[in-house]
Structure 1
Amino acid sequence: MKHARIAYQGLVHEAVVAEDGIQLNDGRMVSEDQAVWLPPVKPNTIFTLGLNYADHAKELSFSPTQKDPLVFFKGPNTLIGHKASTMRPSDVAFMHYECELAVVIGKEAKQIRKEVAYDYVKGYTIANDYALRDYLENYYRPNLRVKNRDGCTPIGPWYVDKADVKDPMNLALRTYVNGEKTQEGSTADMLLGIPELIEYLSGFMTLFPGDIILTGTPKGSIDTAVGDEVVTEIEEIGRLVNTIVGEEAFLSN
């Protein structure tokens, strides 16, 4: 089942997405063009994996030298929904997308073994974690400005129940810029899979329902420009659409 959060007639609604439209939690049916898509989950904590695909690390000419995964936090201010716009700052020379499988935690998890890690997963969604590469100073300690701008991480359109994804570690990921495929990979190529990530993170901190783990991106990230439509898609989950706009779109008159 596909679960969404939308704004409709001035209110925020939990909803289920079906082939014939969107069913609100009060039972009403609306069409997709009547909805304003919101991030499908309101997280407590957002974890982001860096360089969790070997081909992406090689693409950046980076050779990891530590055993622990490269993990950093994102603020909830970064999340925006399907069909929304992301600002490209005027002083940035290289801003690229990152198609990522996002894991939604379903129940409190502390010191969880990887063998039972999936018991703590609620579902999966798509994230497009834009990076402002100009501000990257150190891969192990990325500057906050690289990935923590307001609205720099589209997510959604919905999350899919865990039971409806046959094998989350064997899903195709693709990105299209203005209709042209620019990125393709598979979750099978993660360096650390979902069970290992949950075991690692829950080993020293408690994970809570609604927390999100962004699991990294494969190679193929390219610069984006104002006006570009970026579509990130993941097999069995869906397609997430986002548009790049300039700073003037956010300036007050």
Structure 2
Amino acid sequence: MLKVDDINVWYGSIHAIKGISFEVYEGEIVTLIGANGAGKSTTLNTISGLLHSKTGSVTFQGKNLARIPPHKVVEQGLAQVPEGRRVFLQMTVKENLEMGAYTMPAGGVQADLDMVYGLFPRLKERYRQVAGTLSGGEQQMLAMGRALMSHPKLLMLDEPSMGLAPILVEQIFEIIRNLHQHGSTILLVEQNAQAALSIADRGYVLETGKIVTTGTGAELLSSPAIKKAYLGG
């Protein structure tokens, strides 16, 4: 479904991504793990068209995404839930969700709202509430629900557990599992390596802009080197 081939990304003189290549197949959960600053978010932002690679290509369902603006990338069926949630704080829950449907026909928006409310009952309870007054966990649910309004074929999640209490982290990962069981293909960027690898089909480990290890979620969870570096083992 997604093929990232030899991308190199710079921030000015800083070489942030160094020749990364990986693939995501339909129906998979694939995770990118690594320390802060390893290049995980930069990779997602490059796939989304927010940043551009000097080399290589990003191909989604056989189509090269080079020079396609970010809003057109969403129309192709690729949605990103950004790091830090980035909900529209002054707008209501319902208005935030409607913003996620801007690429969709207007006639189907109510059915899509009902779909999201079914996945996130808390959002239905608070649909009139201003997003800035929601808890961190509720804002994360809202950011995920907003992305789902565009009917993505591939959902990219950037640090969904960041800043959340452990019980909310469990909830968020349970929701990710649920989305996967309902047919979503997911690319997950996450510092919580234990949680990410426990639900992932496959994982890639990034260090200073390079992929240094890859394997199934189970293989990486049981690797002594990964345990030592990322799992406190």
Shorter-chain TM-score: which interval? under 0.3
The answer to which structure has the higher helix fraction is 2
Q: TM-score, normalised by structure 2?
A: 0.27
Q: TM-score, normalised by structure 1?
A: 0.26
The answer to which structure has the higher strand fraction is 1
